[in-house]
Structure 1
Amino acid sequence: MSSVANVFFQSFFHGTRADLKPGDLIVVGYQSNFTDVKPLSWIYFAATLDAAIWGAELAVGSGRERIYVVEPTGPIMDDPNLTDKKFPGNPTLSYRSRDPLRVIAEVTNWQGHSPEQLQQMKENVARGKAEGTAIID
């Protein structure tokens, strides 16, 4: 009788408008989609497709909204901008890293949020910027 080991892998996603291909690295040093602060020293990503969809939908630029399956190349930590500040624990499964993320594949079949949800989120982001509460750690 043979035994089969159950191995579970965690998928991570990054939403953006950047045109990337498998093997490309997403690195620190780019502007946040949510504030006009200096370039970020962290890369943000999530283990839920919904969180990555928000990232793609709110990303600045004129490129097509894209979501990539990514692989961290170094240590990761919970995103403190969401964890315990906006939501107890980390229900959005949002993370950040100072090390690059390697693009594994593009998610090509996903559905964005409704126009009403997207407009509400954009208004919330704009309000945070105006009030100075859209600070990214």
Structure 2
Amino acid sequence: MHLGFGERDRTTAYVYLTPNLDGAVWAAELAAGEGPGRIYTVEPTGPLEDDPNLTNQRFRGNPVKSYRSREPLRVTGEITDWQGHSPEALKAMKDGLKRLEQIAVEPIDD
């Protein structure tokens, strides 16, 4: 899985997930690659841990309910009727990620 920000050639050993639809929408909208983002319903096949990019190492607690696992996820379905954010909100998020990239903030992947 390639991360959605930071060094583009970097590969991670984790898969990321959230039970929060808004978080999944952001991930789908910001995903690298061509074509529309997709959102799947999944079941973990192994242990989960808080995503350090959005939890205690960067924010207090886990307010957005973002998790990661080194084990695969079992896809049980796809959500196809999700609504994206406004063009203005999406631009603001992408601009924020670009600022992080400019100051050399890389994803936490350890």
Partner of 2:23: 51
Q: Distance in 2 between matches of 1:94 and 1:78?
A: 6
Match of 2:95 in 1: 123
Instruction: Tell me, in whole angstroms, the C-alpha distance in 2 between the residues paired with 1:102 and 1:38.
Output: 24
Q: Structure 2 length normalisation: TM-score? A: 0.91
Match of 1:22 in 2: none
Question: Larger C-alpha radius of gyration, 1 or 2?
Answer: 1
SS of 1:125's equivalent in the other structure is: helix
2:59 aligned with 1:94: no
Secondary structure, in 3 states, of the residue corresponding to 2:53?
coil
Between the aligned residues of both structures, percent identity stands at 51
Q: Distance in 2 between matches of 1:135 and 1:91?
A: 18
- Distance, in Å, in 2 between the alignment partners of 1:62 and 1:50 is 21
Q: Give 2:3's match in structure 1, choosing from 10, 32, 38.
A: 32
Give ranges in structure 1 of 5+ residues lacking alignment: 1-29
Q: Distance in 1 between matches of 2:90 and 2:58?
A: 19
After TM superposition, give the deviation of residue 89 of structure 1 in Å: 0.8
- Of 71, 81, 87 in structure 2, the residue corresponding to residue 109 of structure 1 is 81
Aligned residues: 108
Q: In the alignment, what sits opposite 1:64?
A: 36
- Residue 99 of structure 1 and its aligned partner are, at CA, apart by 0.2
Gaps of 5+ in 2: none
Deviation at 1:62?
1.1
Match of 2:76, SS state, is strand
Whichever residue aligns with residue 32 of structure 1, its letter is: L
Deviates more, 1:85-94 or 1:70-79: 85-94
With normalisation by structure 1, the TM-score equals 0.74
